[in-house]
A and B are shown apart, each in its own frame.
Chain A
Amino acid sequence: MTKNPSISADSGIQTPVLETFRYDNAIVRNFAIAAVFWGVAGMLVGLIAALQLVLPEFALWDGISFLSFGRIRPLHTNAVIFAFVGNGIFMGVYYSLPRLLKAPMYSKALSAVHFWGWQAIIVAALITLPLGITTGKEYAELEWPIDLAITLVWVVFGLNMVLTMLNRRERHLYVAIWFYIATWVTVAVLHIVNSLEIPVSLTESYSIFAGVQDALVQWWYGHNAVAFFLTTPYLGLMYYFIPKAANRPVYSYRLSIIHFWALIFIYIWAGPHHLLYTALPDWAQSLGTVFSVMLIFPSWGGMLNGLLTLRGAWDRVRNDVTLKFMVVAVTAYGMATFEGPMLSIKTVNAISHFTDWTIAHVHVGALGWNGFLTFGILYWLLPRLFRTELASVKLANAHFWLGTLGIIVYALPLYWAGFTQSLMWKDFDEAGDLVYPNFLETVLQLVPMYWMRAVGGLLYLAGVFLMIYNLIATARRGSFMAEEEAQAPAMAPEGTSGHDTYWHRRLEGRPMQMLVWSLVVILIGGIIEMVPTFMVKSNIPTIASVKPYTPLELEGRDLYIRDGCYTCHSQMVRPFRSETERYGEYSKVGEFVYDHPFQWGSKRTGPDLHRVGGKYNDAWHFNHMYDPRITSPNSLMPSYPWLLENELNTASTADKIRAMQALGVPYEEGYADQAVADLEKQAGEIVRQLAEQGVKDPITGEAPAADREIIAMIAYLQRLGTDIKAEKTALK
C-alpha cells in the first residue's frame, strides 16, 4: 500500500500518478549473511583471546606468532566493529533508506562494489593483522593500502546513498536518514585524519603525528568510532526498526530532532576522556570530561524515545521476540551511556582506567546494544525477505535468554575484576609501601573472573548459533523475494505541500545541506580541541635529554607494535603515588615527541612499561620473552620464541630513518646511510653483555646471535623512559 504524503487529504485537486519501482532485497540479504558470518568469526576470535588469558601455555596457540594475543586482540576488535556491526549497518541502511525515500538504491553496481569491497577489506584485515602488519593505533590498525581501500569503498557507499536521496519520491528525510548522513560524513573525516601516515613500504608506515598529538587524534578517532560507527547508525536503525516492529510511530519526533543535533554536537568533543591523568594538556582533559558528562542528556533522551515508542504496547514485548531483543538493546544503550559519562569523571576514571572495568563497559555496548539490536532486526527482517514466519519462536526465545545470560556472566565478573585490580594497585600498608608491589599478584587474582568471562562469551556465542540455525530454517521454508515491487507518486515540487517553509523543514528536504551542516557541527569540537595542541607545538615542554631512537631501538619498537604489546601494556605512568611508587617518575609530555605512533595503551593486563628501561638486565628480558614463566612464575603473558628464531629484517631500516626525518625527527643529515652499521654495532654490544650474563639461546644451545629480533626488542625495552633519568629535566 502506498499513498502520497505530499498532497494533503483536503487539497483534493490532483490525483497523483503512481510510479512503479523495485526495492533490491538481495543486497540486504547479502549484508545480513555477511554480518552474521563475520559476527561469528569476530566473537570466536574474542573467545580465543579470552581463553588465551587464562591458558597462555595451551598447545593450540602457545608460541605461534600469528595466534598470539597481541595480534588476535586487534583482529577481534576490528572484526566485531567493522565486520559484524559494519555489515549490520549496511544491512539496515540498504533496507530502510530506499523505503523511507520511496526509491530504490541508485545503482545496483555501486551496491555490489560496496558489498564486495567491504568484504575484501575484511579479508585483508583477517590476513594482515595476524601477520603483525599493523599501524599500532587501536581500532585503526589496518595498514595504509587497506586504509585507502576503506576510503574508496566508503565514498562508493556515500555516493550510492546521496544519489538515492536525490532521486527520492518522499520530500522529507526521516530522522533515521539524518543519522545515516552524519555517520557517513563523520566516519569519513575521522578515518582520513587518523590514518594520515607516511608509508615506508607496502606493509609499514608511521603516523604523521607523534606522542601527545597522536594520542589526541587517536582518541578523538577512537571515541568517535564508538560514537559514529557503533552508535549513530544504530540509532538510525532504532528509529526505523522499533517503530516497524512495534507498528507504531516513534514516541516523540521532536525529541528525536533534539537527540540528533545534541548528540552529534556533543559527542565529537568527548575523546580526551580516554586520556585523563595522562600527559595531555589539562584544559583538553577538562573539555573531554565536561562534554562527556553532558552526553548523558541526548543519550538518555534517545533511549527514552526508543523505549517509550512501546508505550501502550508493553504486553507485546512478552510475546514478540524481536521486541524483546530491541528492548534489551536500548536498555543496554542506556546503561552504557550512563556509565560512559560516569567513567569520564576524573576521580572515577582514576580507578577504572587501564582495568577490566573498561572491557566490561564496552561489552555492555557491543553485546547488548549492537548485538541485540542486530539480532532483533534479523528476526524481524529475514521472515519478511523470505515471506514466511520465523521457523521457531521457541528457539529465538532460547537465543534471547542465552544471550542475556551471556552478557551478565560476561560483564559482572569483569566489573569485579576491574575494582579488584585497581584497589590492589593502590593498596598501601601502614609503612607507606605498596601491599602488592609485584604486578603479577594483581593479575593472578583475576583468573577466576577471566574464566567466567570466557563462559559468558561462550553462552552468548551459543545463542548466535541457535539464531543461525533458526534463520536458515526460515529461509529454507520461505521463498526469497529478490525484488519487491512498490508504487509511489513522483515527489511533488516544493511549495505544493501546503506546509510552512521553515528553515529546518527546508534543511530536511535537502540532503546535501544536511550533510554540510552535520560536517560543520562535528568539525567545531575537533578543531577547538586539536588546533591549540598542534599550534602550540613549540610550547610543549621539550626535554633536552630526550633523543631520537637508535636504529636498533627503532626496529625493536616496530616489533613491539607488530606483536601488539600495547594491547596489554601501557606506556603512561600517571601522576599518582601508587604509580610512581610502582613504576617510577610519572610520564612527561616531552618524552614522547619522537613516538610515531604513540604507544600509551589503554589496558594493563601487564604492568606499565614506560620506565622499564634499566629495571632488569638484558638476560632477564631474553629469558622473559622466550618464556615469561621462567622469570615470572604463573605469568599470563604469551611466550615469544619467534623473536629468538627470526632474523631481524634491516632491509628498510634506512628508509625508516628517512621517513622519521621527513616527520621532523632530528637525525643528522645522511644518517640513514650509516643506520645499519650503527644497528649492528649496538646489537653486538647487547650480545656481548648477554654472553657475560651467561645466557644461552635455548633453541641452538649456543650464545645468542646478534642478528635476531630479540636483540632489537631488548634494545627498545632497555631504552624506554631512560632519557630523563640520564640528565636532570631541562625545560627549554
Chain B
Amino acid sequence: MTTDGQKNQPSSTDEFIKGLWRDNPVFVQVLGMCPTLAVTNTAQNALAMGLATTFVLVMSNIVVSSIRNFIPKQVRIATFILVIATFVTIVDYAIQAISLDLHKALGAFIALIVVNCVILGRAEAFASKNGVAASALDGLGMGFGFTFALLCLGVVREVLGNGALFGVHVFPERFQEWVIMILPSGGFFTMGAWLLVFNALKKRKANAAGPREEAA
C-alpha cells in the first residue's frame, strides 16, 4: 500500500504474500469483522469459514478480472455483488453436501460471506484493474491471510474455552474452561489481544528499519 514503486511491477509472489502478512485483511486492514468475531469459537469453524471465504474470493476475483473490460463503470458494483453472491450460494450447497453438522455450526454466516467487505474490496480495488492470474493470486493470498487470522482466533478461543483443539482435549480433565472465550465477548477479547501483538510487532519492525533508512 505504501510502496507505489512495487505496485508498478508486482512479482507474483508479492501479490500472494501481501495478503498473508503486510496487508492481512483482518489484522492490518481490519476488514470482515463479522465472521471473524462470530464463527471463531472453535478452530474447525474458523478453518471452514476461512477456506469458504478463500474459495469465494479467488473465484470472484477470477471472474471479475476476466469480465472487467466488458462491464460499464456504472453497473460494476451490482455486477460484482451478483458474481460474489453466486459463488457464496455454490459454497453454501457444497458445505451442505460435505457435512450438515458443519453447515449447522456456521449457520447464517455462510450466506453472509456475500457481505464480507474483504471480497467486494478485492474485486473493486484489485481484480477490476488487474489481469486474471494476478487477481487469482491476490485472492488466494488474501484468502489465506483471512484463514490464518481466523485460525489465530479460533485456536486461542477453543483451547481456553473448551480445553480442546480441533475437538481433541489438550488439557487435563481438571482444567476449568473459560466459558467466556466461546461466547461473543471472548471474540472481542481475543481480537483485541491479537491486534495488540500485531501492532507491537509492526512498531518494532518500523523502529528497527527507521535508523537504517536514515543511514542510506
Chain A bound to chain B: no
- Chain A residues engaging chain B, CB cutoff 8 angstroms: none
Interface residues of B (CB under 8 A from A): none
